[in-house]
């Protein structure tokens, strides 16, 4: 008799370079929706995304390591224990479809694949997680420089 109960989602600690490379690959290959999440919103974003297959959130505290998880409970616990709330980057495989991601965030995402990146904000200001800018720098250094100049990098 096999156990069919759901398994709790875990977490992994990876190097900042590995996290940036994963995001850069998703940017270059257009395989994922990528959500940038400012501090204070990671827990809410993780709750919205938690049921989507393949979703992973990378929590950025500006350190040499990054916590990756697909568990909203782990995101909430981490933000509760850390000295400051994490900025985050969430990756969701495009196989979930635009309807699912649109419903999660209450934003209309075009079906034509023209929008990979969602910038979440609670006050309308653009604030890019430093981890995301590091990833953009690997595929588009000029774009990363412009992001550093336009928004307020956060980690």
Query: Do 104 and 123 meet the contact criterion of CB atoms below 8 Å apart?
Result: no
Residue 30 has pLDDT above 70, yes or no: yes
Q: Given strand 32-37, what is the order of strands in its sheet?
A: 11-15, 65-69, 56-60, 87-93, 32-37, 117-119
Segment 63-82, tens digit of pLDDT: 999 999 999 999 988 877 77
Mean pLDDT of 48-52: 90
- How many Å separate Cα 17 from the centre of its chain? 15
As a whole-number percent, the residues of the chain with pLDDT over 90 amount to 54
Domain assignment of residue 7, yes or no: no
Residue 1 has pLDDT above 60, yes or no: no
Confidence band of 4 (pLDDT split at 50, 70, 90): very low
The torsion region of residue 53 among left (phi > 0), alpha (psi -120 to 50) and beta comes to beta
Query: Do 89 and 57 meet the contact criterion of CB atoms below 8 Å apart?
Result: yes
- Give 48's Cβ-side CA count (13 Å radius): 19
Residue 114 has pLDDT above 60, yes or no: yes
Query: Do 45 and 87 meet the contact criterion of CB atoms below 8 Å apart?
Result: no
Mean of the per-residue pLDDT values of the chain:
86
| Tokens linked to 32 | 């994922």
Domain assignment of residue 1, yes or no: no
Domain assignment of residue 2, yes or no: no
Domain assignment of residue 3, yes or no: no
Which one has a higher pLDDT value, 121 or 83? 121
* Predicted pLDDT at 152: 61
Domain count, the chain: 1
Q: Tell me which residue range forms the domain holding 25.
A: 12-150
Domain assignment of residue 4, yes or no: no
Domain assignment of residue 104, yes or no: yes
Question: What are the φ and ψ backbone dihedral angles of 24, each rounded to 5 degrees?
Answer: -60, -40
* Predicted pLDDT at 3: 43
Domain assignment of residue 5, yes or no: no
What would you measure as the largest C-alpha separation in the chain, in angstroms?
58
Residues 83 and 65: their CA atoms lie apart, in Å, by 16
Which one has a higher pLDDT value, 2 or 69? 69
Q: pTM for the full model?
A: 0.86
- How many Å separate Cα 128 from the centre of its chain? 11
Domain assignment of residue 127, yes or no: yes
């Amino acid at each position: 008799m096999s156990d069919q109960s759901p398994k709790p989602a875990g977490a992994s600690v990876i190097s900042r370079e590995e996290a940036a490379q994963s995001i850069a690959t998703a940017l270059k290959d257009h395989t994922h929706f990528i959500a940038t999440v400012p501090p204070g919103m990671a827990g809410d974003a993780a709750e919205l995304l938690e049921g989507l297959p393949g979703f992973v959130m990378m929590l950025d505290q500006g350190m040499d390591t990054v916590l990756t998880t697909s568990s909203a409970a782990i995101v909430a616990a981490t933000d509760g224990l850390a000295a400051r709330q994490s900025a985050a980057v969430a990756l969701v495989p495009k196989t979930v479809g635009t309807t699912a991601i649109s419903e999660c965030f209450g934003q209309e995402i075009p079906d034509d694949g023209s929008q990979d990146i969602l910038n979440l904000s609670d006050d309308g200001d653009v604030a890019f997680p430093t981890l995301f800018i590091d990833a953009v720098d690997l595929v588009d250094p000029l774009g990363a420089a412009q992001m550093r100049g336009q928004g307020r990098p956060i980690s």
